[in-house]
Structure 1
Amino acid sequence: MSMFVNYGASSGPTYLSRPFPGSGTGWDEVSLMRRRLLTALVGAVAAALLAVGVVTVILVRLAAYEITVEHLENRATTLATVIGESIAADSHVPLARGRMQRLSRSLDVENIGVLLLMPHPSMPPQILADLPEGLTPADLDPDVLIATGTSNGRVADNAWAASTYSSEERQSPIIIVVVSSGLFASLGPSGQWFLVAAAVTLAGAAIMAVHLSRSLAAPLVEATEATLRIAGGELETRLPDPPPDKLDEPAELARAVNAMAESLERSRGLERQFLLSVSHDLRTPMTSIQGYAEALSDGTIDDARRAGGVILDEARRLDRLIHDLLDLARLDSRRFNLDLHPTDVGAATERVVDGFVPAASGSGVELNVSSPADPVIARIDTDRWGQVVGNLIENAVRHASGRVDIEVTGSPVHIHLSVTDDGPGIDAEDLPHVFERLYVSKRNPASQESGSGLGLAIARELVQAMDGTVSAGSSPGGGACLTVTVPAMS
């Protein structure tokens, strides 16, 4: 397995500094965003206050109309009775304009009109006191008024109410009294207090908006600049790390951007090292094949059989690397077909282990396999399961001192395969990366493996395609323990 430690060419992260007044474009963007936030927040509060004010005025006017009409109806009913009884007692009761005006002021109304409705339809109504301006006898709708006793309406900015009085004598005229008054629509002191409260609210909103714009604008602009730099290839770009106890949205955004940049930088490093390692692994056998082929062609080599063996071994190594690369390409593109069917995982694993015993013995490593006596069934692709087990065994044999244990255990929910070696083990910092492509422990970065460096990565992709998981840990007795878990079938 090819060894590498560094994941990128950068010597360290580059942190963005917060713009300050006069620093150019960054400060201009912060100022522009602050103005937008300030305008939006204050505008929203002002719009809300305006809406509340308009609704309040409408409600006050509606309430004022109802209150005014009720007031006028009471006055009209009382005056109709008083004036009607006075006229019935003395038909010459004076209803002069001056007297009616004084009566209006005393009753807190603007106008009092009196209309005499004659009993015979052919006789026109007689106006005893002027009706409110803009109101005619026809507007009163006498038939409805007589039926209901009272009526009301509105003329311009004045409300009016009318009431009738009729004596018990037959064929006597009906007296209609009409009272009008302006609408009590003024908010009065409440309106002034509302304006004061609105001004205070707007001032408070402006202060809060300034605070929010300062706390939000700069981090957002910083995040924007950082993501643009990252998109442009500057993966070492970082935002200043917020304090651990800061959990607001700008702090979470900064952490997310930094995590994204770190992940991208690591991925770029892995990709670069992957290409370097693959090119090296391709060049090494090609160099050997080319050298021995030229020696055979020139006739300068004595042991042609040995040269042919070297060429064959290197060709097989090349073939293995190319097949591994093709497998990874198919897995990455999700164009990998699996033949999943119920299989006894224990039996399938034992068959694979039996095939590796001769090679392991030649390396001085003993393979020990154990599985449950009863079948443990899972839906797997038998051929690809053999590839997974084989890759794990190859990796274990490569690092083992003399022993590799392969164990299959089952439960009603999951089936576990563990491959444990007695080698040097895996450092805790390396455990999360064991199944990455071409990754090897930092404990011995100078060592090289004989395989392609892709076996464990392929094993992980295959297991995940079979709805399973992989994990790496340290064996209690020393060494490494790689575990595969797949869902069990009931």
Structure 2
Amino acid sequence: MKSSLKTKLALTYALVAIISILMISLMTNVFLEKQFKEYTIENQENKNKELADLISKQYSDNENWNYKSIESIGINALEQGLIIKLSDNSGKVIWDAATHNNGLCKQMIDHIENNMTKYYGNSSGKYEEKLYTVHNNNNKIGNLQIGYYGPFYYSDNDIEFINTLNKLLLGVGMLALFFAVLLGLFMAKMLSNPISRVVKAAQNIANGFYNNKITEKSETAEIDLLISTINNLAETLENQKNLRKRMSADIAHELRTPLATLQSHLEAMIDGIWKPSTERLESCHEESLRINRLIGDLENLAEYESENYKLSKVKYDIYDQIKKIIYNFQADFKNKGININLNGKREIVFADKDKISQVIINLISNSLKYTPKDGNVEIIIDKSDKEIIIKIKDTGRGISSEDLPYIFERFYRVDKSRNRLTGGAGIGLTIAKAIVNFHKGNIAVKSNLGKGTEFTVLLPKGI
């Protein structure tokens, strides 16, 4: 049976509290018992010696015993669980507690034995006797035999102290358990509420609702990171959703225009409105080629993004490659009145020459399209320890910060008007990024609206 996180945390706190209380109680009892046992044995020995010393003082200088005082001492000792028997040097019994009240002695020993059996069982001890020499002025005047339950015993006061201590530990334990459950519920609520909110947000994402972001914060780093991740996931999926919609609209638009042109021309010729002249047939052919190029670009993109795509890598001079590409564009740049410069020196790379050429051509073509007359395009070839760096900078109209994150997406075009003079279907940069990624490289862009754009291509040196 599954239980909620809140229940599990509360039970965990309660279990930890119970275990802690039991361990503390056990350790406290073991420690106190050891100390109390040693104290009781030592205290018993001191009592016995004090009793012997007190008895010795009941012997007068005229060699007579103070029987009345001895009897009083014996009765008092009996009340403390001690059974004494005093004899002089000749063995004559001066006072014997058993003779004085044998029933009380037996009752007292039985009572102590019952108390000790409750705590330690039948192996707790037994009745034992110790013999002490009684002196007066350094002269032996007799022997004192002290009988008690040994090796130690607890009086009624001692047992009452132990019971009070155990009750106190039990009370503290119950109080600690109560606060532990309260703390557990509080902590469980603090932890489970944001997690429940994350679960709800994840369910909304699974159902296609991406706008329901989590606004609450958590003091727990992992939960706060989880909330941030879910919010980023929702935002990314929302962006992907919008891009898919735009891509569908773009594909429909890119196909609709040439197809509509083909349809209208063919219908006009079929209905006899137009004669099928060479000029009109060439126009239809041009539109069919446009559709074919779009389909070819999509096929190439799918191929480049395939995990099984293989590159035909060779060692070659990329400076020489870019120099030749610029030469092929020279007439176009001259006709538009744009200056193009190449800065750098010979750099050897290990790459697919045709595919890298496609990347460079695409980036230079973009600079040509979006740079106005009297503008400048500069291509810089540089290197670092591990990479060849290619930068293509222009002084064109630039890209807005809103469009910049999406320019490598399929069919995304900064020019929303879809003007044929300023570009194709919007797949060129997507293909360029796929090719560079396949080379284990990276392509990035920086741009300022109205000032220009800079593309940076990083290609690994390693062979």
Q: TM-score, normalised on structure 1?
A: 0.65
Match for residue 340 of structure 1 among 313, 320, 330? 313
Hey, what does 1:394 align to over in structure 2? 365
Rounded Cα–Cα distance in structure 2 between residues aligned with 1:321 and 1:342 = 32
Is 2:236 the partner of 1:263?
Answer: yes
Hey, what does 1:405 align to over in structure 2? 377
Verify the 8 A CA contact 1:365 1:404 in the aligned structure 2.
no
Rounded Cα–Cα distance in structure 1 between residues aligned with 2:461 and 2:296 = 30
Pairwise CA RMSD: 4.7
Hey, what does 2:212 align to over in structure 1? 237
Verify the 8 A CA contact 1:424 1:479 in the aligned structure 2.
yes
Residue 469 of structure 1, CA deviation: 1.9
Rounded Cα–Cα distance in structure 2 between residues aligned with 1:200 and 1:432 = 59
Is 2:417 the partner of 1:446?
Answer: yes
Hey, what does 2:442 align to over in structure 1? 469
Alignment of 1:31-46 (within 5 A): 37-46=9-18
Hey, what does 1:98 align to over in structure 2? 98
Higher relative contact order by CA 8 Å / sep ≥ 6: 1 or 2? 1
Rounded Cα–Cα distance in structure 2 between residues aligned with 1:63 and 1:222 = 55
Is 2:286 the partner of 1:320?
Answer: no
Match for residue 277 of structure 1 among 250, 258, 265? 250
Question: What letter is aligned with 1:46?
Answer: I
**Runs of 5+ unmatched residues, structure 1:** 1-30, 78-85, 113-131, 134-153, 166-176
Corresponding residue SS for 2:397: coil
Residue 487 of structure 1, CA deviation: 3.2
Verify the 8 A CA contact 1:73 1:161 in the aligned structure 2.
no
Residue 420 of structure 1, CA deviation: 2.7
Structure 1's 284 and 314: CA in aligned 2 closer, same or farther, altered over 3 A?
same
Residue 101 of structure 1, CA deviation: 9.6
Residue 280 of structure 1, CA deviation: 2.0
Residue 48 of structure 1, CA deviation: 2.6
Q: Deviations over 1:70-96 (max 9, x none)?
A: 88899999xxxxxxxx99x87898998
Q: TM-score, normalised on structure 2?
A: 0.69
Verify the 8 A CA contact 1:60 1:187 in the aligned structure 2.
no
Residue 265 of structure 1, CA deviation: 0.9
Alignment of 1:136-175 (within 5 A): 156=122, 158-159=124-125
Match for residue 407 of structure 2 among 394, 412, 434? 434
Structure 1's 354 and 213: CA in aligned 2 closer, same or farther, altered over 3 A?
same
Rounded Cα–Cα distance in structure 2 between residues aligned with 1:247 and 1:160 = 63
**Runs of 5+ unmatched residues, structure 2:** 50-85, 115-119, 132-146
Q: Deviations over 1:30-68 (max 9, x none)?
A: x97655544443343234323332343345456666666
Rounded Cα–Cα distance in structure 1 between residues aligned with 2:426 and 2:306 = 20
Corresponding residue SS for 2:411: coil
Structure having the higher Rg: 2
Hey, what does 1:122 align to over in structure 2? none
Verify the 8 A CA contact 1:415 1:486 in the aligned structure 2.
yes
Residue 231 of structure 1, CA deviation: 0.7
Alignment of 1:173-252 (within 5 A): 180=150, 181-182=152-153, 187=162, 190-239=165-214, 241-242=215-216, 247-249=219-221, 252=225
Alignment of 1:406-425 (within 5 A): 406-413=378-385, 414-425=387-398
Q: Deviations over 1:126-164 (max 9, x none)?
A: xxxxxx99xxxxxxxxxxxxxxxxxxxx86251369899
Corresponding residue SS for 1:437: coil
Question: What letter is aligned with 2:323?
Answer: E
Corresponding residue SS for 2:403: helix
Corresponding residue SS for 1:237: coil
Question: What letter is aligned with 1:265?
Answer: E
Hey, what does 1:51 align to over in structure 2? 23
Number of residue pairs aligned between Structure 1 and Structure 2: 403
Verify the 8 A CA contact 1:434 1:472 in the aligned structure 2.
no
Residue 206 of structure 1, CA deviation: 4.1
Hey, what does 1:352 align to over in structure 2? 325
Corresponding residue SS for 1:391: helix
Question: What letter is aligned with 1:427?
Answer: S
Verify the 8 A CA contact 1:285 1:317 in the aligned structure 2.
yes
Rounded Cα–Cα distance in structure 2 between residues aligned with 1:100 and 1:434 = 113
Rounded Cα–Cα distance in structure 1 between residues aligned with 2:283 and 2:45 = 119
Is 2:340 the partner of 1:368?
Answer: yes
Alignment of 1:70-81 (within 5 A): none
Hey, what does 2:428 align to over in structure 1? 455
Q: Deviations over 1:437-463 (max 9, x none)?
A: 22233xx53343441211111211221
Rounded Cα–Cα distance in structure 2 between residues aligned with 1:303 and 1:421 = 45
Corresponding residue SS for 1:238: coil
Question: What letter is aligned with 1:52?
Answer: I
Q: Deviations over 1:399-443 (max 9, x none)?
A: 1213452413213333222223332212233322222222233xx
Residue 270 of structure 1, CA deviation: 0.7
Verify the 8 A CA contact 2:333 2:340 in the aligned structure 1.
no
Verify the 8 A CA contact 1:76 1:179 in the aligned structure 2.
no
Structure 1's 100 and 194: CA in aligned 2 closer, same or farther, altered over 3 A?
farther
Q: Deviations over 1:289-337 (max 9, x none)?
A: 3444455556653463222332333233223222221233234442322
